[in-house]
């Protein structure tokens, strides 16, 4: 339940503030337990991770998963849900089905049955535009999607999205669990609480967002040559989102530019971010999310190298504090009320 709805039902509700120190402590305990059972852990956030359990195949993956979940609860007093399947996609879906505080194993024999009635919008990476277009063709479940040829999907959605749809509705996912991931971009994005009344508000936001990206680059000992600005605007006719101050139903647009030399300079980032934002010609009152990203990364000057080289290794390491808090893609989840694990029988596990 959203806080807005809870307060509407209970006007005298006391809302407890965030406690990030406690979150960090629990995240450390959470990942410590995962690494006791598995050496190949891909962290996605402070409470989400994928585990490649192939090395544990001599044990029953369901029993191993249950032991991990019990230890997580015993140590942190936070429940954890887990999905076990042959790849990351299915493990992630299994985790969702396992909530709250459960675990689900989707064996290869059960994949077709599980996916046949699964709503297409439950697949990761499927947004409003794709799901609405398929719904207009009376295609709402993966079983129905399987009846559409790959050529027809290519025609309607293009090669990238059509290939993803074709594979996902069949439970196909070739991505692997990567304990250490190469950093291809460094950025920051905010999609909650973004509401501007005038251009000055947007400008101040860009200044602060650029500062955050600059600090992250410097913290990793990296500089970038390509800067990309992504802006989400409220879709025409869309109402207020269910989540208070959320982004809701949006359209996404972006602009990027590539410089001749790499930089992490704050003033440069602020100047280019402003230029890119102006080039989008958006009504600032309709903006619901803004992201700034640096790519085509290079190592920073050796003047800062030694210290930041160590920081980069720390940020990339799957067991490091940085990676526990800053990850992308899906693997293992943990929340204050429920966390996830995912296993594959080659074997992948997903925790939240």
Active site positions, annotated: 48
What is the Rg, in whole angstroms, of the alpha carbon atoms belonging to the chain? 22
- Residues 6+ away with beta carbon under 8 Å from 15: 3, 7
Respond yes or no on whether the N-terminal peptide bond of residue 100 is cis (omega within 30° of 0): yes
What gap in Å lies between CA 15 and CA 125, rounded to an integer?
Answer: 32
CA 240 from centroid of its chain's CA atoms: 23
What gap in Å lies between CA 154 and CA 161, rounded to an integer?
Answer: 8
Q: Where are the alpha helices (DSSP H) in 53-158?
A: 61-76, 88-98, 111-116, 128-136, 142-145, 150-157
Q: Nearest to residue 325, comparing CAs of 199, 210, 188?
A: 188
Bridge partners (DSSP) listed for residue 104: 83
Could you give the angle at which helices 150-157 and 159-168 cross, rounded to 10 degrees? 140
Distance set, CA 167 to CA 128, 161, 295, 327 (Å): 19, 10, 28, 24
Q: Got the DSSP string for 122-150?
A: GSTT--HHHHHHHHHTT--BHHHHTTS-H
What gap in Å lies between CA 172 and CA 86, rounded to an integer?
Answer: 9
Nearest 5°: CA angle at 305, between 328 and 270?
Answer: 60
Check: CB of residue 351 under 8 Å from CB of residue 70: no
What gap in Å lies between CA 95 and CA 256, rounded to an integer?
Answer: 36
């Amino acid at each position: 339940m959203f806080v807005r709805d809870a307060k509407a039902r209970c006007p005298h509700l006391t809302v407890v503030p965030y406690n990030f120190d406690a979150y960090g402590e629990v995240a450390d305990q959470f990942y410590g337990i995962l690494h006791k059972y598995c050496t190949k852990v891909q962290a996605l956030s402070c409470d989400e991770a994928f585990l490649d359990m192939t090395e544990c195949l001599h044990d029953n993956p369901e029993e191993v998963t249950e032991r991990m979940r019990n230890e997580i609860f015993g140590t942190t007093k936070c429940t954890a849900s887990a999905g076990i399947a042959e790849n990351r996609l299915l493990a992630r879906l299994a985790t969702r089905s396992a909530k709250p505080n459960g675990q689900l194993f989707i064996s290869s024999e059960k994949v077709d049955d599980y996916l046949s009635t699964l709503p297409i919008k439950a697949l990761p990476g499927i947004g409003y535009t794709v799901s609405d277009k398929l719904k207009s063709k009376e295609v709402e479940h993966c079983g129905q999607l399987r009846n559409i040829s790959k050529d027809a999907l290519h025609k309607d959605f293009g090669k990238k999205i059509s290939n993803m749809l074709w594979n996902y509705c069949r439970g196909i996912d070739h991505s692997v669990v990567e304990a250490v991931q190469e950093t291809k971009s460094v950025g920051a994005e905010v999609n909650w609480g973004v509401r501007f009344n005038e251009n000055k508000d947007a400008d101040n936001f860009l200044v602060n967002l650029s500062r955050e990206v600059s600090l992250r680059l410097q913290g990793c000992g990296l500089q970038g040559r390509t800067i990309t600005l992504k802006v989400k605007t409220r879709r025409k006719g869309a109402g207020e989102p269910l989540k208070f101050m959320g982004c809701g139903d949006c359209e996404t647009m972006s602009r990027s530019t590539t410089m001749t030399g790499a930089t992490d300079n704050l003033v440069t980032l602020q100047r280019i971010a402003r230029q890119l934002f102006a080039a989008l010609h958006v009504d600032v009152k309709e903006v619901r999310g803004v992201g700034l990203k640096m790519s085509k990364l290079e190592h920073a000057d050796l003047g800062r190298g030694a210290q930041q080289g160590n920081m980069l290794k720390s940020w990339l390491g799957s067991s490091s504090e940085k990676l526990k808090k800053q990850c992308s893609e899906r693997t293992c989840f943990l929340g204050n009320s429920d966390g996830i694990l995912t296993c594959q029988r080659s074997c992948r596990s997903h925790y939240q």
